[in-house]
């Protein structure tokens, strides 16, 4: 009997699995399947997400309700009702190739360059979180970072790079292939002009219209809790009217 035939089947399976982890596209393909499959994900041209958010800043917790409308790949409208010291304001931000605007209670606001930069990075981030563009859009590159431990849990980690978001670490649960953590550097939400490390952790996955999405997101900025988002409803939309973003 040849020497290699003595290797236990379980060991061979482990070796084969580890080799698969070295191919970032295979990792993404598994993740796409776990999240609903490419055909289902690519069927929709947009999504509407309603959520309740808590933002922690300057020692205070700010509560808000949000409706986020996304038209893939580069349109977004976010409507937030924010309560500060008993006063509720409505903030509407619209982003599209035609422009970037923001209003507070209907009054136009100046959109800073750093905000525009963050928006451009945000579209890359959304594409990465959607997963399928990583396989079909050549503007994205992938690199395997192998298996890493974080908080005593093991993850398969892929580094993704896009046009605006140059580097993001994507952490996949090896047991489920779900994307459970996303890390990147971007404009600080706390201090204008500063770059911060953003870490988004995803949990409470639920399936809607055949697509599995997290219904809880916790974001830390530079190691401190910044936001907790609880998703109330997700609607996957086959088409989104461009007029929604004007």
125/119 Cα distance (integer angstroms): 10
Q: What is the pLDDT, as a whole number, of residue 1? A: 44
Examine the pLDDT at 3 and tell me if it is beyond 70: no
The residue to which tokens 């952790």 are assigned: 201
**Percent of residues, the chain, with pLDDT higher than 70:** 91
Q: What is the pLDDT, as a whole number, of residue 13? A: 43
Q: What is the pLDDT, as a whole number, of residue 138? A: 96
Q: What is the pLDDT, as a whole number, of residue 6? A: 44
Q: Is CATH 3.90.550.10 correct for 10-245?
A: no
- pLDDT single digits (tens) 159-215: 999 999 999 999 999 999 999 999 999 999 888 889 999 999 999 999 999 999 999
Q: What is the pLDDT, as a whole number, of residue 42? A: 98
- pLDDT single digits (tens) 64-106: 999 999 999 999 999 999 988 889 999 999 999 999 999 999 9
Examine the pLDDT at 14 and tell me if it is beyond 50: no
Mean pLDDT over 146-158 rounds to 94
Instruction: Kindly indicate the confidence band of residue 125, based on its pLDDT and cuts at 50, 70 and 90.
Output: very high
Sketch the domain layout of the chain as residue ranges: 10-245
In three state form, how does the secondary structure of the chain look? CCHHHHCCHHHHHHHHHHHHHCCHHHHHHHHHHHHCCHHHHHHCCEEEEEEEEEEEECCEEEEEEEEEEEECCCEEEEEEEEEECCEEEEEEEEEECCEEEEEECCEEECCCHHHHHHHHHHHHHHHHHHCCHHHHCCCCEEEEEEEEEECCEEEEEEEEECCCCCCEEEEECCCCCCEEEEEEEEECCCCCCCEEEEEEEEEEEEEECCEEEEEEEEEEECCEEEEEEEEEEEEEECCCCHHHHC
- pLDDT single digits (tens) 15-52: 334 435 579 999 999 999 999 999 999 999 999 999 99
């Amino acid at each position: 009997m040849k020497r290699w035939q003595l290797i236990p089947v379980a060991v061979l399976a482990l070796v084969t699995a580890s080799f698969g982890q070295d191919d970032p596209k295979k990792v993404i393909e598994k993740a796409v399947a776990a999240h609903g499959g490419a055909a289902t994900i690519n069927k929709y041209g947009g999504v509407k997400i309603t959520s309740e958010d808590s933002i922690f800043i300057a020692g205070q917790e700010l509560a808000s309700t949000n409706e986020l409308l996304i038209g893939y790949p580069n349109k977004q409208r976010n409507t937030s009702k924010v309560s500060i010291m008993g006063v509720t304001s409505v903030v509407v931000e619209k982003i599209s190739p035609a422009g970037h605007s923001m209003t507070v209670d209907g009054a136009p606001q100046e959109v800073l360059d750093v905000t525009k930069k963050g928006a451009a990075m945000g579209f890359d981030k959304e594409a990465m979180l959607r997963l399928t563009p990583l396989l079909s859009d050549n503007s994205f590159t992938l690199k395997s970072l192998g298996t890493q431990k974080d908080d005593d849990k093991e993850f398969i980690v892929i580094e993704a790079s896009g046009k605006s978001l140059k580097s993001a670490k994507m952490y996949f649960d090896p047991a489920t292939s779900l994307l459970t953590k996303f890390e990147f550097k971007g404009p600080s939400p706390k201090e204008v002009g500063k770059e911060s490390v953003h870490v988004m952790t995803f949990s409470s996955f639920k399936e809607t219209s055949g697509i599995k999405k997290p219904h809880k997101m916790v974001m830390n900025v530079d190691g401190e809790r910044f936001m907790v988002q609880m998703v109330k409803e997700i609607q996957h939309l086959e088409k989104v009217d461009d007029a929604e973003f004007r």
